[in-house]
Amino acid sequence: MEEIAIYLHWPFCKSKCPYCDFASIRQNDASLYEKFEDLLLLDLTRSISEIGDRRIKSVFFGGGTPSLMNPKSIEKILNFLIKKFSMTNEAEITLEANPDTFCRNKMKDFKNAGINRASLGVQSFFDKNLRFLSRSYGEKQSVAAAEIVAQTFENFSFDFIYGYEGQTVKNFAQDLERAVNFECKHISCYQLTFEENTPFYEKMLAGVIKKIDENKEIELYDYIEDFLENNNIFRYESSNYSMAGFESRHNLAYWKYEDYLGVGPSAHSRVVVDKRKTEMVKISDPFLWESALSQNRSTFSHINTLSEKEKLEEMIIMGLRMVNGVTMEDLYQKVSPRVVNEIISEKKLKFLTEKKLMANGKIQLTKSGLKKMNSAVKFLLS
Ligand code: SF4
């Protein structure tokens, strides 16, 4: 039986971070949360007709801030999935959480509801950094939340943001040291980016915030890898590091171009329907998504069968993020060999190998290739 990963999108956050362009809005109305929790289950019950009979390999509650949800609603959703589908024994069930949205008991309730992996958006353990990022909590709360997560789950991850003005290697090293001291099994380090239509982008245009220079960026990137490697936490994707066996199974499904179904406002899916890889996108605005659901209309804003070329592009863009890259066999399995051979030519692979960006004879970026991932991908697909 084919496996599938399920993503559920919770669209609300306690406050909106000034650098964030995710599909999330500030909302603190508990009665609205309750309504949207029911709607998420309703959307799931209606969307599963798209996937046929599958075995679930992972479930991911992402957002937004899904730790704002009631654990009982998470339990209802998981019970529904267990009743309808078979789950692999090692199914990974992740909850994204923000430090100021749970206490020890609530995290325990999430675990009892069926969550077996927590991904905590720490971003930093220090007041100065948290203030710069305008996070809604301080140092004390981020440390306390990390402690709760580490004491509740064996499998957990911390997210950090790095690469902003005023942040030194020494300063970031202290963040990573704290994470390692919690015996964290998985760490994601995302470089701060200035996305259009965010307050940080406006501030960057106005010269109030500056991007850090490229050399500093590389220094931090290299430092993260060295420090974590020395602590047995290895890079397996451009921004993700884990101890052996603790790689995110759910995220690997995206990067390996396996099937996944996205439920909830703005969620994306890639599912093979009638032997054709299909892209499905949910209505992005939570309130338009809600009205489509309550009027019994489709909650997909578009459904599109992907061409062979589009599939190849997506496989390369996602696959080259992984340290292990992709193989020709992977590509031939999912895309017409004629299209693969037309675009991924020997000549291009040789050129990238000579530039030391690609490993010899493989579709796999080297350490320096990962630093130039966007241009290597663009060249390969040109
Ligand atoms: S908590 Fe996360 S999803 Fe919510 S606004 Fe901040 S960065 Fe975006």
- Kindly report, residue by residue over 138-171, the tens digit of the pLDDT: 999 999 999 999 999 999 999 999 999 888 888 8
Which pairs count as long-range contacts for 376-382, CB under 8 Å and 24+ apart, including other chains? 376/320, 376/352, 377/316, 377/317, 377/320, 379/348, 379/351, 379/352, 380/316, 380/320, 380/343, 380/344, 380/348, 380/349, 380/352, 381/312, 381/313, 381/316, 381/317, 381/343, 382/348
pLDDT at 339: 97
Pocket of ligand 1 (CB under 6 A): 13, 16-17, 20, 22, 24, 63-65, 98, 121
Strand positions, DSSP E, 212-295: 234-237, 240-242, 260-263, 268-273, 276-282
Confidence of residue 50 (pLDDT cuts 50, 70, 90): confident
pLDDT at 107: 98
Spatial neighbors of 52 by CB under 8 A, at least 6 apart, are none
- Using CA atoms, how far apart are residues 5 and 253, in angstroms rounded to an integer? 7
Phi-psi bin for 259: left (phi > 0), alpha (psi -120 to 50), beta?
A: beta
pLDDT digits 0-9 by tens, 78-106: 999 999 998 887 899 999 999 999 999 99
| Run of H or E including 144 | helix 139-152
pLDDT at 326: 96
pLDDT at 130: 95
| Run of H or E including 285 | none
Which atom from ligand 1 is nearest to the alpha carbon of 26?
5
Which atom from ligand 1 is nearest to the alpha carbon of 121?
2
pLDDT at 382: 92
Phi, psi of 140, rounded to the nearest 5 degrees:
-60, -45
pLDDT at 17: 96
Spacing, Cα 223 to ligand 1 middle (Å): 26
- Per-residue DSSP letter, 122: E
pLDDT digits 0-9 by tens, 273-309: 988 999 999 999 999 999 999 999 999 999 999 999 9
Q: What is the mean pLDDT of residues 226-238?
A: 97
Cβ(37)–Cβ(67) below 8 Å: no
> Counting Cβ atoms within 10 Å, is residue 271 exposed (0-12), middle (13-18) or buried (19+)?
buried
Q: What type of residue sits at position 224?
A: I
Nearest CA to ligand 1 atom 3: 64
> Counting Cβ atoms within 10 Å, is residue 123 exposed (0-12), middle (13-18) or buried (19+)?
buried
pLDDT at 292: 97
Residue 183 tokens read as 């015996």
Confidence of residue 211 (pLDDT cuts 50, 70, 90): confident
Residue of 90, 84, 98, 96 whose CA lies nearest to 45: 84
Spacing, Cα 304 to ligand 1 middle (Å): 29
pLDDT at 356: 95
Compare 235 and 274 and report the one with higher pLDDT. 235
The percent of residues above 90 in pLDDT, for the chain, comes to 90
Confidence of residue 316 (pLDDT cuts 50, 70, 90): very high
pLDDT at 147: 98
Nearest CA to ligand 1 atom 8: 20
- Using CA atoms, how far apart are residues 316 and 43, in angstroms rounded to an integer? 31
Confidence of residue 49 (pLDDT cuts 50, 70, 90): confident
pLDDT at 362: 87
* Residues 61, 236, 317, 325, Cα dihedral to 10°: -140
Give the chain's mean pLDDT.
95
pLDDT at 90: 86
pLDDT at 51: 84
pLDDT digits 0-9 by tens, 348-359: 999 999 999 999
> Counting Cβ atoms within 10 Å, is residue 166 exposed (0-12), middle (13-18) or buried (19+)?
exposed
Compare 233 and 360 and report the one with higher pLDDT. 233
pLDDT at 123: 97
pLDDT at 319: 98
Spatial neighbors of 83 by CB under 8 A, at least 6 apart, are none
- Per-residue DSSP letter, 286: H
Cβ(110)–Cβ(101) below 8 Å: no
pLDDT at 331: 96
pLDDT at 335: 97
Please tell me the total number of residues recorded for the chain in this structure: 382
Q: What is the mean pLDDT of residues 199-213?
A: 93
End-to-end CA, the chain: 36
Beta partners for residue 375, in sequence order: none
